[in-house]
């Protein structure tokens, strides 16, 4: 399955904001862009979608930036995917009834709609906190000191 960079970078930006605003600080788009090697201009377009979806809120001022609008445990990946690209979890469209479409209907019903259903179910049970937890696990959980 291929996901658009808009969705991919949107999830990365959300995780970055969650990780870097834990101590109450805001996170600027410039900081995210630099840390994640994403074009700031493109990232700002994605953040508009995240704001409209209710995942982040912007703070103005000299120390302005973004924070999560709700805890990471309450941001479900299905919501983020739908906000950034409402086609990812959509069922395959049934073609208009014409002769010879029986196979297409069967393929849509048997394969694509079921696959999308499993994906919807999976992403509805997974939160941004799960992504952050996986990141921490893969990076050793934080600062490591060796003696």
Q: What is the full DSSP assignment across 7-26?
A: HHHHHHHHHHHHHHTTTS--
Q: Which CATH number does 5-138 carry?
A: 1.10.10.10
What SS3 class is residue 65? Answer: strand
Contact indicator for 14, 129 with CB cutoff of 8 Å? no
The single residue listed with the structure tokens 């090697």 is 37
32-36, 131-135, 143-147: least confidently modelled range: 143-147
The single residue listed with the structure tokens 């941004």 is 128
Confidence of residue 145 (pLDDT cuts 50, 70, 90): very low
Contact indicator for 49, 6 with CB cutoff of 8 Å? yes
Instruction: For the chain, give the percent of residues with pLDDT over 70.
Output: 86
Domains of the chain by residue range: 5-138
Instruction: For the chain, give the percent of residues with pLDDT over 90.
Output: 59
pLDDT greater at residue 57 or residue 95: 57
């Amino acid at each position: 399955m291929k996901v658009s960079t808009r969705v991919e970078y949107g999830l990365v930006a959300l995780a970055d904001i969650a990780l870097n605003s834990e101590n109450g600080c805001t996170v600027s788009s410039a900081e995210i862009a630099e840390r994640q090697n994403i074009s700031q201009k493109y990232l700002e377009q994605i953040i508009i979608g995240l704001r409209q979806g209710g995942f982040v809120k912007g703070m103005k001022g000299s120390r302005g930036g973004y924070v999560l609008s709700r805890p990471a445990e309450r941001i479900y990946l299905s919501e983020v995917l739908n906000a950034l690209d409402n086609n990812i979890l959509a069922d395959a469209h049934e073609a208009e009834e014409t002769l010879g479409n029986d196979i297409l209907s069967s393929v849509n019903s048997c394969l694509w709609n079921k696959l999308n259903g499993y994906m919807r179910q999976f992403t509805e049970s997974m939160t941004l906190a799960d992504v952050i937890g996986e990141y921490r696990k893969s990076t050793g959980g934080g600062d490591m000191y060796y003696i």
